[in-house]
Amino acid sequence: MKLRFKPYMLKLRHVFTLANSSRSETPVVLIRIDSDGLSGYGEASLPPYLGATQESVMAFLSKVDLNRFSLDDSLTDILDYIAHIESGNTAAKAALDIALHDLYGKSQNQPLWKRWNLSPQETTPTSFTIGIDSAEGIRNKVREAADFKILKVKLGSDSDKMIIETIREISDVPLYVDANQGWSDPHFALDMLHWLAERNVVMAEQPMPVDRLDETAWLTSRSPIPVIADESFQRYDDFAKIKDAFSGVNIKLMKCTGLHEARRIISAAREADLKIMLGCMTETSCAIAAAVQIASLVDYVDLDGHLLITNDAFSGLRLSDGKVLPSDLPGLGVIPVNDIFND
């Protein structure tokens, strides 16, 4: 197998404002793994708060020797080799996991969802994210999002109630909210969750800071709606730490090193009776298509990352009745728009 990689800069449709930051670009690294005339594609998405950079991802990928493997080796053995090269590097490992799943799916001439006996049509609609903005900006974004059945709203600033009331002037779709750790007082957070639940907010992501686990447990046990761990939950091994403090977990391929571990997390979360959200970073259709393969297994789908950019490097996903659906093509089912690896 031969590995290639290229840095690529995603241009965001709107400046993206969270509780603590704003940005208009997201750096990614796109990868391609070739074997037996087939190419598998993968992607590492690197929003700044995760700490990895294009340079750190490429430095890790330079240490990965796939020449020693062929399609006769098992995918699990290759992933095991990659996992043990160095700790951390979760987005770089996710890129490799995604590209290898694409490659093996193509070698078996089957979309991954079919290989895993899943039914993408049974997936719940994706939420579509509305960033923090002025009232007029929010009205415009909500109008632009008319194709979506669920909106996700970023909270955690002084204008939380204004944002929700502005949306409710023009839309009655269910809302997810994500405070991105923005509420530090649990009593304030509980009052907010009750106020939000009365306005058809059906789920809240990461209301309180990561280091406030006991207060989050207090909040979750009293909350009228499920409280989901995002920043507090990265990988499978985090379960023990957070399972009593939250109603569920937000799985992102870039946090958990890809599809192999994501599927293990889904099984464990079901066993622990936890809700499951499947989220993303701003990503091209490549990494989103990977998550879409398993989206029918989860309760909350938040896979809009490819819809928030203007220079998607892949095609193959479609939006139907508010659901992001994969194609019937083998592997991830995506096709590069330009072959950026040909130079």
Q: Which residues bind Mg ion (CB under 5 A)?
A: 178, 205, 230
Tell the smallest beta-carbon distance from residue 205 to Mg ion (Å): 5
201, 226 Cβ separation under 8 angstroms: no
Neighbours of 19 (CB within 10 A): 17
Tell the smallest beta-carbon distance from residue 146 to Mg ion (Å): 24
C-beta closer to Mg ion: residue 205 or 215:
205
177, 168 Cβ separation under 8 angstroms: no
C-beta closer to Mg ion: residue 66 or 163:
163
17, 133 Cβ separation under 8 angstroms: yes
C-beta closer to Mg ion: residue 85 or 210:
210
C-beta closer to Mg ion: residue 47 or 120:
47
C-beta closer to Mg ion: residue 39 or 127:
127
Distance CA 329, CA 335 (A): 9
Tell the smallest beta-carbon distance from residue 226 to Mg ion (Å): 14
Q: What is the DSSP letter of 289?
A: H
| Torsion angle, alpha carbons of 122, 125, 126, 127, to 10 | -150
CA-based max dimension of the chain: 60
Tell the smallest beta-carbon distance from residue 127 to Mg ion (Å): 11
Bridge partners (DSSP) of residue 276 are 249
Tell the smallest beta-carbon distance from residue 258 to Mg ion (Å): 19
Bridge partners (DSSP) of residue 129 are 152
C-beta closer to Mg ion: residue 101 or 152:
152
Tell the smallest beta-carbon distance from residue 131 to Mg ion (Å): 12
Tell the smallest beta-carbon distance from residue 51 to Mg ion (Å): 16
From first CA to last CA, the distance across the chain in angstroms is 19
52, 92 Cβ separation under 8 angstroms: yes
Buried b / exposed e along 257-293 (16+ C-beta atoms within 10 A): bbbbbbbebbeebeeeebbbbbbbbbbbbbbbbbbbb
Q: What's the CA angle centered on 80, arms 75 and 86, to 5 degrees?
A: 135
C-beta closer to Mg ion: residue 145 or 177:
177
Tell the smallest beta-carbon distance from residue 329 to Mg ion (Å): 30
C-beta closer to Mg ion: residue 204 or 334:
204
